[in-house]
């Protein structure tokens, strides 16, 4: 029945500022009205709605103000440089000190986090094939550490 995610929504303080930010991420505007704008994530497949209003004052929690964009592993490896090139800085995830993309071997995915101008948590995320001999790793490890482990099969 379910084939994928069509839409997600985030609150924003200033629609014009948010429009410029999401355009920098390479998203194409689908439509807008006075206090709402929709950007295609995958044109014709999925989009994100940004809603200007006081709801932006809702304290951040991942269940309320978080969105993950699917990227390739190679894109994830270049994500810090790419984000920096558009004036966006990655942020550490939870209690990590590092902003470097990291691997969750136990889940089979990798991520890097950053925020939009309103503190909504955004993430680049990809699937990672985990070799059998590495499936026991239960802590998050940097992509650099991961690639060293892959090189030492």
Are 112 and 123 contained in the same domain?
yes
> Residue 134 belongs to what domain range?
60-153
Cα four-point dihedral sign 73, 80, 85, 87: positive
CA 2 – CA 6 distance, rounded (Å):
10
Q: Which of 41, 58, 75 is the last residue of a domain?
A: 58
Are 107 and 67 contained in the same domain?
yes
Point out which residues pair with 11 in neighbouring strands: 51
Are 66 and 41 contained in the same domain?
no
**The predicted structure's pLDDT at residue 84:** 97
The CA–CA distances, whole Å, from 148 to 80, 120, 126, 152 equal 19, 32, 19, 6
Are 78 and 137 contained in the same domain?
yes
**The predicted structure's pLDDT at residue 95:** 82
Are 24 and 64 contained in the same domain?
no
The total number of structural domains that make up the chain: 2
pTM: 0.93
Are 11 and 80 contained in the same domain?
no
Do residues 20 and 62 make contact, with C-beta atoms less than 8 angstroms apart? no
Q: Checking DSSP bridges between strand 66-70 and strand 90-91, what pairing results, if any?
A: unpaired
CATH number of the domain bearing residue 46: 3.10.180.10
Describe the chain by its helix, strand, coil percentages, rounded to 5.
Answer: 25, 35, 40
Residues (pLDDT < 70) of the chain are: 153
**The predicted structure's pLDDT at residue 3:** 85
**The predicted structure's pLDDT at residue 43:** 96
Are 35 and 104 contained in the same domain?
no
Are 39 and 103 contained in the same domain?
no
Closest by CA to 56, choosing from 118, 123, 121, is 118
Are 49 and 92 contained in the same domain?
no
Are 54 and 119 contained in the same domain?
no
Are 120 and 147 contained in the same domain?
yes
Are 123 and 80 contained in the same domain?
yes
The Cβ of residue 140 has, within 10 Å, a number of other Cβ atoms equal to: 20
């Amino acid at each position: 029945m379910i084939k994928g995610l069509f839409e997600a929504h985030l609150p924003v303080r200033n629609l014009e500022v948010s429009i410029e930010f999401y355009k920098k991420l390479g998203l194409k505007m689908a439509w807008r009205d006075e206090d709402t704008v929709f950007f295609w994530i995958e044109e014709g497949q999925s989009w994100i709605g940004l809603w200007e209003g006081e709801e932006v004052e809702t304290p951040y929690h991942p269940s309320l103000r978080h969105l993950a964009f699917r990227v390739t592993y190679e894109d994830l490896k270049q994500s810090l440089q790419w984000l920096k090139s558009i004036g966006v800085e990655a942020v550490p995830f939870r209690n990590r000190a590092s902003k470097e993309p990291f691997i969750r071997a136990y889940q089979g995915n990798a991520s890097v986090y950053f925020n939009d101008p309103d503190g909504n948590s955004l993430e680049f995320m990809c699937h990672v094939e985990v070799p059998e001999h590495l499936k026991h790793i239960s802590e998050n490890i940097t992509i650099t550490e991961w690639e060293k482990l892959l090189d030492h099969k």
